[in-house]
Structure 1
């Protein structure tokens, strides 16, 4: 999951730095979708009970991508990413408790609280206490969508009984559907933009695919709240990427947020 966090931050950075986030998301989805389609003949066909779960998950994934693109259009990487990710562990734990009956342990609750506090501290340091409502709304909605699809996907992998099969079908369906949505939104410009950013799309697609496969593998074996919390180490990697590549300054709030997130990982690990 630490490796998945690094991959997650990397592809988000590539998406944010693209000229049009919806186009990059559609392109990287197409890359992941082609890989998933190649795996479909090797995995079982979903039973009837799994199809509603897949359709719900696809809907949530598309909503997440649209909200994420909206957040990146309204704020920089250091603003949108921490706000969206800071909401995920709390939402995911609550949804998993209500829908799946997963009761987090005391240590998991402490870890979730720590990582959420650290992420929000990072976010509001960049915002200097002034959160633009359009950015805050889209980033929070993206975080809620991640929490919702994490719970749905955890249920789907268990219901299917084959995490790889569920992952392949989900990625294939999600990629195709979002590409069609992007085509409607971008029109003929989509093909020109895809060609102009083809290398960025290829790299981000492979990074996103690998990161998501690790994430679903972990969800099939562990509690949703704990898995999503450890995944949020992606913000630490995002902070390092911002400092090294984008020359962003460190502050006591950012350092404090990093310490809280590290403490959360230790608490959950033990």
Structure 2
């Protein structure tokens, strides 16, 4: 992986952590996510006429990604190596492993409620791994990372907005009117973050891209501490250092 791709991925992780902080600070995470996704869909709709269109071969992957998004890095690493022809050095595998262990340590605090949260997080990770592999394959076939990104966000945001207007019209409309500025900021952040990651998937192995995206947890912890004034427990500090160490190993691989 070149230094340029590495730095772009770290910037994408920072964007990812930033828009997640916007959602977290908004109080109602569900409606905040709807606002962010809807804003991203509108931005994508405006930009689509001016962007190169993805190749037709990527259309099934766009549809599959949309469906999937309505143990992430490990699954991506294993499947991408077995089926997509990516090759990782031992140092890259070590970096991915360090990041995975650090993420697990970040989530675990020894309480029963935390263990239940880990189970839910692992289930969620399976879906994330699914759409990462789908999008990684799709964007490589698309021939245009920008076009693929715009269509992805337009389809996902449109579907989520339609659901909100049918199932929660009154609540969603009220929230969007009150917090539309945060929605636009979050939409720009999420599009920029995932768009850069999709481009990186055309330049580097999916497993490495997936693992480096998880450095957003490190940035998220810093934002929570500095901006949201949350307390950082010792285990989270150690885990954050582990994520940073894993990122360094991936750069050296």
Is this a same-fold pair by TM over 0.5? yes
Q: CA deviation at 1:138?
A: 3.2
Q: Which residue does the alignment assign to 1:32?
A: 40
Which structure 2 residues correspond to residues 1-270 of structure 1 after superposition, within 5 A?
A: 1-62=9-70, 87-124=71-108, 127-132=109-114, 135-270=117-252
CA separation in 2, counterparts of 1:60 and 1:207? Answer: 21
Q: Which sits farther off after the overlay, 101-110 or 158-167?
A: 101-110
Unmatched tracts of structure 1, length 5 or more: 63-86
Q: Which sits farther off after the overlay, 27-36 or 127-136?
A: 127-136
Q: CA deviation at 1:46?
A: 4.1
Q: Secondary structure at the match of 1:250?
A: coil
CA separation in 2, counterparts of 1:269 and 1:15? Answer: 30
Judging changes above 3 Å, is the alpha-carbon distance between structure 1 residues 2 and 44 closer, same or farther for their aligned structure 2 residues?
closer
Q: Secondary structure at the match of 1:188?
A: helix
CA separation in 2, counterparts of 1:184 and 1:132? Answer: 34
Q: Which residue does the alignment assign to 1:82?
A: none
CA separation in 2, counterparts of 1:186 and 1:208? Answer: 23
Judging changes above 3 Å, is the alpha-carbon distance between structure 1 residues 255 and 183 closer, same or farther for their aligned structure 2 residues?
same
1:50–1:159 contact (8 Å) kept in structure 2: yes
Give the alignment's TM-score, normalised by structure 1.
0.83
Give the alignment's TM-score, normalised by structure 2.
0.88
* Count, aligned residues: 244
Q: CA deviation at 1:159?
A: 0.9
Cα deviations by residue, 1:22-47 (Å, 9 ceiling, x for unpaired): 22112111211122112222234444
Q: Secondary structure at the match of 2:231?
A: coil
Q: Secondary structure at the match of 1:246?
A: coil
Q: Secondary structure at the match of 1:152?
A: helix
CA separation in 1, counterparts of 2:53 and 2:249? Answer: 39
